[in-house]
Amino acid sequence: MEKKPLDGPFGVEISGLNLTQKLDAATRAHVNSAFVDNVVLCFRGQSFKTPDEFLHAVENLGRPMPPVTATYRLPGYEAIEELTNQATDKRTGDDLPLKRGGSWHTDHSNLACPPKATVLYAIEVPELGGNTEFTNLYLAYDALDDNTKQRIRGRRAFHAYLSRRAPRKLLTRTKAEEEGSSGCWQPLVREHPETGRAALYLNPMRCDAVEGLDEAEGDALLDTLYAHCEQPQFQYSHRWRPGDVLIWDNRCALHQATFDFDRHKLRYLHRIMLRGDAPRLAI
């Protein structure tokens, strides 16, 4: 097993590891250490003959959890989701393709215990374009001025399923799904449970209000923080290859898919999220 930096300010590529094999305790610990230290981890050249092989590989990294909506779960699998540029909202009958993941977000932050990580397996990807981009919220927090840090530490934001300010729509939920994902208050600055570091915890898709601020003040603060996080020095853009397995830390990163490719080309991946804990307020 070898590690080398990805082409950005964070992230590591791991080679020489076959994820179809069960990892021993020492290897799992080494992989997890690389994950929490580098935010994004890429395993090149993986090949899973069945979805079960992918599921078992991910179980080496954590406990899978199902997505909030069942719309695109792989038939027969609760925790594996199909991610494709050909997706439409099957529940509304709208034939227009959804740009799923096509703006900055962190997964399911409207849950009391959001997923700690997301894993994608690239099955078919376009030769050009269709990258997944990441912004490191450790780096973004560290670069804030002291006055802003003081203003936001100890403060919370409300994460709804879909913010009134969201830049795109999300999948339609059933009544049962709505009851389990209505939203909750989350820290603006989150203490990572494994590293102890402070990171911004934001979501342009879901943040709807800021604790202690009126709507205009809260919106202005969120917009300032979003613009700060989107600076290039905090970002890594992953160019996919078939067989890539990518895992990232939802506790300290935003991500987004890009759609700068021929939409007649298929972009098809499998996705599994890993269970996490309730975010801890950094004070």
Ranges of H-type helices in the chain: 25-38, 51-59, 137-142, 146-152, 175-179, 215-229
Looking at per-residue pLDDT, the higher value among 101 and 83 belongs to: 83
| Span 194-203, average pLDDT | 97
Distance separating alpha carbons of residues 93 and 90, to the nearest angstrom? 5
Domains of the chain, each with CATH number or no CATH: 2-281 (3.60.130.10)
What is the pLDDT confidence band of residue 223, given thresholds at 50, 70 and 90? very high
Distance separating alpha carbons of residues 142 and 114, to the nearest angstrom? 23
| Span 20-49, average pLDDT | 95
| Span 103-113, average pLDDT | 95
A 10 A CB-CB count for 103 gives 13
| Span 126-144, average pLDDT | 96
DSSP calls for 4-54: EE-SSSS-EEEES--TTSPPPHHHHHHHHHHHHHHSEEEE-S---SSHHHH
pLDDT of 89 over the 70 cut: no
Whole-structure pTM value: 0.93
pLDDT of residue 70: 85
Burial of residue 202, with CB atoms counted within 10 A of its CB: 0-12 exposed, 13-18 middle, 19 or more buried: buried
A 10 A CB-CB count for 212 gives 10
pLDDT digits (tens, 9 = 90+) for 229-242: 999 999 999 999 99
Distance separating alpha carbons of residues 265 and 132, to the nearest angstrom? 16
Amino acid identity for residue 99 in this structure = K
Amino acid identity for residue 266 in this structure = L
pLDDT of residue 177: 80
